[in-house]
Structure 1
Amino acid sequence: MGIGIETTGAFFPPGIETASELALKTGIPEQVIIEKFGLFQKHVADESMQASDLAVAAGSQAIKHYDPQSIDVVIYFGSPHKDYYVWSSAPKIQHELGAKNAYAFEMMNVSSCFPIALKVAKDMIASDQSIQNILLVGGCKESQIVDYSNPRSRFMFNFADGGAAALITRDSFQSEILESAILTDGSFHDDVRVPAGGSKHFACAETVEKHLHYIDVKDPLSMKERLDPVSISNFDHVIRKALHKSGYTPQDIKLLLPLHTKRSMFKELLQSLGLSEEKAIYLDHHGHMSALDPCIGLHFAKEQGLLNPGDIAVVVSAGTGYTWAATVVKWKGEKK
């Protein structure tokens, strides 16, 4: 046995926005949203459910057959758009899950965080014999920060809501977390952000009036010109490097678990790795949920029986800033 993902959990709020509804909001034809952007529908949370609540719901599912008091660490890896500004959701999640013996903290690297969180959890368990179980848990309510009146950012309409969790254990019967690779190009640090609310543009009547509390892209054309030439190659690089460090090649991949991107980029990534679409999970009925996507993909893979003992899966994501990250997981699927 080894350090691995033992269980997963996912939760989606009941509210749904369809491609036809998004077409009305964005002015983009429904068929373009479905075929080019790869989105039939997405889940949207109402005002009664926040990012931390979505995380708790997913965490509850992941540990439903475990004693919450056996968890040693709770790590929130989800969206930075949370219930409150300058606030850690991890203690609330720890408390509501009943994991009273666990200490709790947060990791934040926007959409790239799940592959990194797997590495951090594995390394923590490997370096500290007192840690047996770490719960990675995240929530996302980023549908709330899309400004459909802003032509610079309304293409981010695939932002959706949900929760995801993964229980990492020292002696996992289900899987083994292998190696990771991470790449950051900080030249993109100023391209995507919520302009107001931080120390640079503190919230005031003017920032609200100007819609500066929604996600924005400073110069979409400039970002596209700089990002398009490197995005797929950087995805390819971290995937191949993580596989090489683990003793594998792209030909060994049974299942690729990426973040939700437009379909053309998804297909281009598969082509660069020599993979068919059957060897990946694409969240065309769920959209993009910050760092949660690869974890949710893994949860679906488990539910659908897509992984067999010995199979190699790669969780891969990228987050604005820009960081690309991949972690290799070897499936065991053993019964206790």
Structure 2
Amino acid sequence: MIGITHTGVYFPPRIETAKEIAQRAEIPENVIVEKFGLVQKHVSDSSIHASDMAIQAAKPILEKVDPLSIDVLIYFGSSYKDYMVWTCGTKIVHELGLKNAYAFEIMNVSSCFPIALKVARDMLVADDSIRNILLVGGCKEAELVDYQNVRSRFMFNFADGGAAALVSRDSSRSRVLGSCIYTDGSFHDDVRVVGGGSKHPASLESVQQRLHFLDVKDPKDMKQRLDPVSVSNFVHVVQEAMAKSGSSVSEIDWLIPLHTKRSMFRELLDRLELREEQAIYLDHYGHLSALDPCIGLHLGQERQLFQKGDKIVTVSAGTGYTWAATVLEWLE
């Protein structure tokens, strides 16, 4: 049974509260809590990076399984890593002592965990020699937030941390079922870090112009195009993933989404006819790029929320824009 056997998370110790974010962004605290859906978030310092947080998240898993039993490591976290044009997966394999594993990376910003689950499942189906695939991700995107840039306001919930999940051929805990992924590339030019790429190489001017932070090209235009389709696309990938799993939306027991503003979270639940008690909302963690559904899954296990037979939908979306969902069946 191909499924997730273990998960792990890591959060840096420093906490930034809604009050502190409100002061930095010059926004009322109640707006941060009620609209942004953020009570607090974890923020790293200069001593730790995306690869380090991914390693810390994976360590508890390797206390339960033999590191030499890991065949593949897939990094699915933030593309904002320790260095540019650099694979942190190789560092993670080395630091964790995964001497029998090869590493590669898949990155699709915030949508990537449901995609990584599909890739891992498909690899295990296709190659009998693979037994265990370790998914790891790190996020240090709080560092990319410019609180004085009102164009990037919807990204003020970005936070830091690490997450990991072990996908195994012989899982008795869960089973990975169907997935659905949908891309609308018309949004490709809306959100980016302008400075540092080949179009705008790093320079004194790029630093002075604050081009090394997340930015939205035209927030009003993006909102006009995105608002009418975003929740509908979430619903579409959830419906299709459930259909591919031989089930319907009415059979969802748990929704594990990325962190969004409260209004979108509630609208999605309404459209899927789910109660808030059937979802995990990361208002004490914020948005950690692709890591959110993995973190929510870990929290659900810690809190012993899942029961045998539960259908759990991990769902996310990433700027560009790609929506993705993968279904799990809980076996314990």
Say yes or no: TM over 0.5.
yes
Q: Secondary structure at the match of 2:134?
A: strand
Counterpart of 2:320 in structure 1 is 321
Counterpart of 1:32 in structure 2 is 31
Q: Report whether the alignment pairs 1:117 with 2:104.
A: no
Counterpart of 1:145 in structure 2 is 144
Counterpart of 1:200 in structure 2 is 199
- Amino acid in the other structure paired with 1:19: A
Q: Is the 8 A contact 1:316 1:325 kept in 2?
A: yes
What's the Cα RMSD here? 0.6
**1:189-227: CA deviations, max 9, x gaps?**
000000011111111111011000111000000000000
Query: Aligned partners of 1:234, 1:157: CA distance in 2, in Å?
Result: 23
Q: Is the 8 A contact 1:111 1:318 kept in 2?
A: yes
How many residues are paired up?
A: 332
Q: Secondary structure at the match of 1:329?
A: strand
Give identity over the alignment, percent.
66
Structure 2 gap segments, 5+ residues each: none
Q: Secondary structure at the match of 2:328?
A: strand
Written as runs of structure 1 = structure 2, the 5 A alignment for 1:98-117 is 98-117=97-116
Counterpart of 1:174 in structure 2 is 173
**1:43-97: CA deviations, max 9, x gaps?**
0001111000000000112222111011000000000010001101000000111
Query: Aligned partners of 2:217, 2:316: CA distance in 1, in Å?
Result: 22
The Cα of 1:154 is off from its aligned counterpart by 3.3
Q: Is the 8 A contact 1:13 1:45 kept in 2?
A: yes
Q: Secondary structure at the match of 1:229?
A: coil
Structure 1 gap segments, 5+ residues each: none
Q: Secondary structure at the match of 1:115?
A: helix
Counterpart of 2:66 in structure 1 is 67
The Cα of 1:155 is off from its aligned counterpart by 3.3
Counterpart of 1:251 in structure 2 is 250
Q: Report whether the alignment pairs 1:55 with 2:58.
A: no
Query: Aligned partners of 1:190, 1:155: CA distance in 2, in Å?
Result: 16
Q: Is the 8 A contact 1:55 1:137 kept in 2?
A: yes
- Amino acid in the other structure paired with 2:136: V
- Amino acid in the other structure paired with 2:29: E
Q: Secondary structure at the match of 2:133?
A: strand
Query: Aligned partners of 2:311, 2:181: CA distance in 1, in Å?
Result: 19
- Amino acid in the other structure paired with 1:26: A
Q: Report whether the alignment pairs 1:42 with 2:41.
A: yes
- Amino acid in the other structure paired with 2:221: S
- Amino acid in the other structure paired with 2:155: M
- Amino acid in the other structure paired with 1:109: N
Query: Aligned partners of 1:88, 1:219: CA distance in 2, in Å?
Result: 32
Query: Aligned partners of 2:70, 2:111: CA distance in 1, in Å?
Result: 24
Q: Is the 8 A contact 1:63 1:167 kept in 2?
A: no
Q: Is the 8 A contact 1:7 1:63 kept in 2?
A: no
Q: Secondary structure at the match of 1:283?
A: coil
- Amino acid in the other structure paired with 1:74: L
- Amino acid in the other structure paired with 2:89: A
- Amino acid in the other structure paired with 2:66: D
Query: Aligned partners of 2:320, 2:179: CA distance in 1, in Å?
Result: 19
Query: Aligned partners of 1:112, 1:62: CA distance in 2, in Å?
Result: 23
Query: Aligned partners of 1:116, 1:155: CA distance in 2, in Å?
Result: 23
- Amino acid in the other structure paired with 1:10: V
Query: Aligned partners of 1:226, 1:62: CA distance in 2, in Å?
Result: 42
Q: Secondary structure at the match of 1:264?
A: helix
The Cα of 1:269 is off from its aligned counterpart by 0.1
The Cα of 1:27 is off from its aligned counterpart by 1.2
The Cα of 1:247 is off from its aligned counterpart by 1.0
Counterpart of 2:277 in structure 1 is 278
Query: Aligned partners of 2:305, 2:19: CA distance in 1, in Å?
Result: 31
The Cα of 1:148 is off from its aligned counterpart by 1.3
Q: Is the 8 A contact 1:74 1:135 kept in 2?
A: yes
Q: Is the 8 A contact 1:94 1:104 kept in 2?
A: yes
Q: Secondary structure at the match of 2:98?
A: coil
The Cα of 1:251 is off from its aligned counterpart by 1.5
Taking structure 1 as the reference length, what is the TM-score of the superposition?
Answer: 0.98
Counterpart of 2:160 in structure 1 is 161
